[in-house]
Amino acid sequence: MTLGHVIARPGVDCGQVLLRPCTTSFGDGNGTPVGHIDDEGRDLNLRDPGYTESRCTGICDPFTARCFCDGKHRRVNPPKGSPPGTPAPVSDDGNGTKLEWGQVPWKHIYGPDGWCNSDKPVVKCACLFDGFAGELCDEVTETVCPNQCSGHGECDSGFCKCHAGWYGTDCARKVAGQPMEPGHLESKARPWLDDLVRIAPEAEAAARAASVPAGGGFSFQQTRQRPLIYVYDLPPAYNARMLQYRNDRGVCVWRAFESGNRTAIFEWTYGLEVLMHEMMLQSEHRTFDPEQADFFYVPVYSSCFIFPIHCYADGPWWHAPSGPRVMHVTNMMLEVRDWVRKHFPYWDRRGGRDHVWLMTHDEGACYAPTEIYNSSIFLTHWGRTDGEHASNTAFTPDNYTQEYVHPRQPDGWLHLIKGHPCYTPGKDLVIPALKLPHHFRDSPLLFHPPRERHFLLYLRGDVGKHRLPNYSRGIRQRLYKLWREHEWKARYNVLIGDGSDVPGSYSEHLASAKFCVVAPGDGWSARLEDAMLHGCVPVVVMDGVRGVFEDQLDFSSFSIRVREDELEGLPARLAAVPDKVLARMQQRIRTVWHRYVYASHPLIAKTLQGAINGNVGAWRQQILRDMADAKAGPEAVERVASRMAERASFPAADDAFNTILMWLHARLPHTQ
């Protein structure tokens, strides 16, 4: 059998094989995962009832539950050069019998001109899996790992298999006494790593020190910038294996490799989870000496587990099969905490006060284990402060106030999370969600030629048309109803609705609005970030919920808070804001907006500067047109454009990541 992955394995010598076969059902969580495939990876009987997302009409990889082609271009023993495609589940068995769980006609996948049999298929499937590209998914590319294994390892969809003598999550550490050798980055063997890999200063110095024999005289002395952060190398079950199990390269991560190993970036809603890990690994604040550390970062990929890992196949589970997705996160975090305590003394040294956890999913740290939450620092997007709270998500599997009892968890799980708020000012920090440069390319703050701000108020997105009533606490639904019934568009030039109500460029709209609504979704939403990155004054409508950096910045100087019961007269209230007051708020936004952008990763920094350069070029063209109308010479254009280009840079030292580090530095007296 041809295997495509070196799955991150448990055991002292990583010798334990983990199975995750495609299946029709779940087991009891106590033993080997349930599968519904034969030794070749084929479904035992396509007509058998039962369905999970992993059920496969081709050849199943029993280690990742990924479904590959059968037929000519099959997964097992494929002819040389055959493309390992990604077939959709077929809707019939090829003999006229309809399958209740399929989607695509058999002939489109396994017919003579089908995806899995033809060199020129009439229907083409997307290349979903990490590591494949090209029109027929026949091009093998690099896969995504944090910091791409520092160039000293081979990446297998999230798990770094380090080169001899190197170790650690990102292969950044060198075994003592072994000689240094250039990695893929230094040797330029893989030029696509130039914009992705950065070696933390201590990692580079420590590796050089390790390569010098005892008594060799190497000395590494430098003044370190605090805070110093130790990043735990957790077992892969809590992060790397999540990336290996994902069935779509566009989820969990914020970047992927395309044809020719070009890097594509995209906005996965919870993509900060992997990016934060990368930035911590690359940071000059990273330390390899836990005795020197001011803080300890715990890189758990809980949002990636919530989707797409949970319930795709029979496992992994924490600990009962199925049940609320968030319950598994609670159990997982306790398991990680116990692992840290077993292998390191640092949790018990200060009771976890100096340990930092990131929870990026919809309702943030609301369902963090109480015994972890009460002591540790939480970075979250959701600043809900009420002590007695119930889940407000409209997505039932994430409702953290639903009990679930199972033989694997006979006492349920709600007792594990009771007695704490979702966010504690001072102890925790509400941080920006990830917004990449293409999202706000049309913003005047990125030097795009400014537009007239002719929209009084703007909100485009899910307005709850097909949602449960508690979605967004009903705020978006009420605003949409008021907009329609009171003709806010005609009377005030207000835009509220989804894409069918408000078509056009989202970035252009935001850059053309004076005020922008900030309202919750299933929990947090990134509407505040959208507003700030476009210079639009945020109108915050979420009682008892702190916004991003609200407790750190002079938030009221550039935003307006509106109570949830004050929506009816909102346009008239905003129209009455004096122009001078609005101008002051817009000016204040221009002094802090960069703190809502993550620019510390080299690829994002490069992309950001590219967007700025493109906008400066747009300015040059606009000035040229304007001056042509006034019969001015081109030398004036170049003079103005050159002056603008000199100013057109991003203050990366004060981006979102560095703002978080500054806040942690201020927390030092409280964690000692």
Beta carbons within 8 Å of 503's beta carbon, 6+ residues apart: none
* Dist CA 632 CA 640 (whole Å): 12
Whether the predicted pLDDT of 230 surpasses 50:
yes
* Dist CA 436 CA 530 (whole Å): 11
* Same domain for 592 and 626: no
Q: What pLDDT shows up at residue 79?
A: 37
Kindly state whether residue 183 falls inside one of the protein's structural domains: no
Whether the predicted pLDDT of 220 surpasses 70:
no
Q: Does 70 or 300 have the greater pLDDT score?
A: 300
Give the H or E element holding residue 503.
none
* Dist CA 370 CA 421 (whole Å): 9
Per mean pLDDT, which range of 219-223, 376-380, 484-488 is the poorest? 219-223
Q: What pLDDT shows up at residue 2?
A: 36
Q: What is the mean pLDDT of residues 116-124?
A: 89
Q: Which residue in 194, 382, 147, 361 sits closest to 271, CA to CA?
A: 361
Share of the chain above pLDDT 70, in %: 91
Q: Does 69 or 584 have the greater pLDDT score?
A: 584
* Dist CA 177 CA 168 (whole Å): 17
Identify any residues that bridge with 515 across adjacent strands, giving them in sequence order. 457, 537
* Same domain for 624 and 586: no
- Specify burial of residue 345 (Cβ count, 10 A radius: 0-12, 13-18, 19+): exposed
* Same domain for 635 and 566: no
Q: 3-class SS at 132?
A: strand
Cβ contact 168:153 at 8 Å: no
Whether the predicted pLDDT of 632 surpasses 90:
no
Q: Give the pLDDT confidence of 436-487 residue by residue, as tens digits.
A: 999 999 999 999 989 999 999 999 999 999 999 999 999 999 999 999 999 9
Helix ranges restricted to H, 5-148: 106-110
- Examine the fold and report which residue of 579, 596, 613 is the final residue of a domain before the chain moves on: 596
Query: pLDDT-derived band of residue 212, with 50, 70 and 90 as boundaries?
Result: low
Question: Residue 129 gets which letter from DSSP?
Answer: S
Q: What is the mean pLDDT of residues 269-298?
A: 97
* Same domain for 585 and 445: yes
Q: Does 567 or 4 have the greater pLDDT score?
A: 567
Q: What is the mean pLDDT of residues 285-297?
A: 96
Structural domain containing residue 459: 437-596
Whether the predicted pLDDT of 10 surpasses 70:
no
Per mean pLDDT, which range of 110-114, 141-145, 214-218, 230-234 is the poorest? 214-218
Per mean pLDDT, which range of 70-84, 107-121, 137-151, 503-517 is the poorest? 70-84
* Dist CA 341 CA 220 (whole Å): 30
Q: Which two tokens stand for residue 9?
A: 């394995």
* Dist CA 25 CA 298 (whole Å): 33
Identify any residues that bridge with 517 across adjacent strands, giving them in sequence order. 539
* Same domain for 587 and 632: no
Whether the predicted pLDDT of 4 surpasses 50:
no
* Dist CA 197 CA 535 (whole Å): 32
Q: What pLDDT shows up at residue 187?
A: 92
Q: What is the mean pLDDT of residues 274-290?
A: 96
* Dist CA 361 CA 523 (whole Å): 8
* Same domain for 621 and 481: no
Whether the predicted pLDDT of 649 surpasses 70:
yes
Q: What pLDDT shows up at residue 219?
A: 47
Kindly state whether residue 218 falls inside one of the protein's structural domains: no
Give the H or E element holding residue 380.
strand 377-380
Kindly state whether residue 15 falls inside one of the protein's structural domains: yes
* Same domain for 638 and 583: no
Cβ contact 388:351 at 8 Å: no
Whether the predicted pLDDT of 82 surpasses 90:
no
User: DSSP letters of 306-358?
Assistant: IIIITTTSS---SSSSSS-HHHHHHHHHHHHHHHHHHH-SHHHHHTTTTEEEE
Q: Which residue in 454, 455, 472 sits closest to 463, CA to CA?
A: 472
* Same domain for 591 and 472: yes
Kindly state whether residue 561 falls inside one of the protein's structural domains: yes
Q: Which residue in 397, 343, 351, 401 sits closest to 377, CA to CA?
A: 351
Cβ contact 150:172 at 8 Å: yes
* Same domain for 617 and 580: no
Per mean pLDDT, which range of 29-43, 341-355, 625-639 is the poorest? 625-639
| CA R_g for the chain | 27
Kindly state whether residue 97 falls inside one of the protein's structural domains: yes
* Same domain for 452 and 577: yes
Per mean pLDDT, which range of 112-121, 319-328, 339-348, 622-631 is the poorest? 622-631
Kindly state whether residue 553 falls inside one of the protein's structural domains: yes
Query: pLDDT-derived band of residue 313, with 50, 70 and 90 as boundaries?
Result: very high
* Same domain for 4 and 112: yes
Q: What pLDDT shows up at residue 13?
A: 58
* Dist CA 591 CA 575 (whole Å): 24
Q: Does 41 or 2 have the greater pLDDT score?
A: 41
- Examine the fold and report which residue of 596, 631, 662 is the final residue of a domain before the chain moves on: 596
Q: Does 617 or 378 have the greater pLDDT score?
A: 378
Per mean pLDDT, which range of 11-25, 56-70, 265-279, 414-428 is the poorest? 11-25
Query: pLDDT-derived band of residue 211, with 50, 70 and 90 as boundaries?
Result: low
Q: What pLDDT shows up at residue 636?
A: 65
**Three-class SS of 418-452:** CCCCCCCECCEEECCCCCCHHHHCCCHHHCCCCCC
* Same domain for 103 and 25: yes
* Dist CA 435 CA 72 (whole Å): 42
Backbone φ and ψ of 6, nearest 5°: -100, 85
Q: What pLDDT shows up at residue 640?
A: 67
Amino acid in position 347: W
Longest CA pairwise span in the chain (Å): 82
- Beta strand 166-167 pairing with 173-174: antiparallel
| Neighbour order of strands in the sheet with 494-497 | 494-497, 455-460, 513-518, 537-540, 560-561
Q: What pLDDT shows up at residue 366?
A: 98
- Examine the fold and report which residue of 88, 110, 125 is the final residue of a domain before the chain moves on: 125
* Dist CA 447 CA 617 (whole Å): 10
- Beta strand 173-174 pairing with 59-61: unpaired
Kindly state whether residue 643 falls inside one of the protein's structural domains: yes
* Dist CA 441 CA 97 (whole Å): 50
Q: What is the mean pLDDT of residues 15-44?
A: 89
Beta carbons within 8 Å of 292's beta carbon, 6+ residues apart: 224, 228
What is the number of structural domains in the chain? 3
Q: What pLDDT shows up at residue 50?
A: 94
Q: What pLDDT shows up at residue 623?
A: 76
* Dist CA 564 CA 560 (whole Å): 13
Q: Does 16 or 145 have the greater pLDDT score?
A: 145
Amino acid in position 170: D
Measured in residues, the chain has a length of: 672
Q: Which of 36-50, 561-575, 607-621, 628-642 has the highest mean pLDDT?
A: 561-575
Q: How far from the centroid of its chain's Cα atoms is residue 501's Cα? A: 28
Query: pLDDT-derived band of residue 30, with 50, 70 and 90 as boundaries?
Result: confident
Q: What pLDDT shows up at residue 398?
A: 97
Q: What pLDDT shows up at residue 78?
A: 36
Assign residue 589 the CATH number of its domain: 3.40.50.2000
* Dist CA 213 CA 342 (whole Å): 32
Whether the predicted pLDDT of 9 surpasses 60:
no
Whether the predicted pLDDT of 568 surpasses 90:
yes
Q: 3-class SS at 654?
A: helix
Q: What is the dihedral of CA 149, 152, 153, 154, to 10 degrees?
A: 90
- Beta strand 255-257 pairing with 263-265: antiparallel
Q: Which residue in 357, 342, 366, 399 sits closest to 238, CA to CA?
A: 357
Share of the chain above pLDDT 90, in %: 75
Cβ contact 398:325 at 8 Å: yes
Kindly state whether residue 356 falls inside one of the protein's structural domains: no
Q: How far from the centroid of its chain's Cα atoms is residue 135's Cα? A: 27
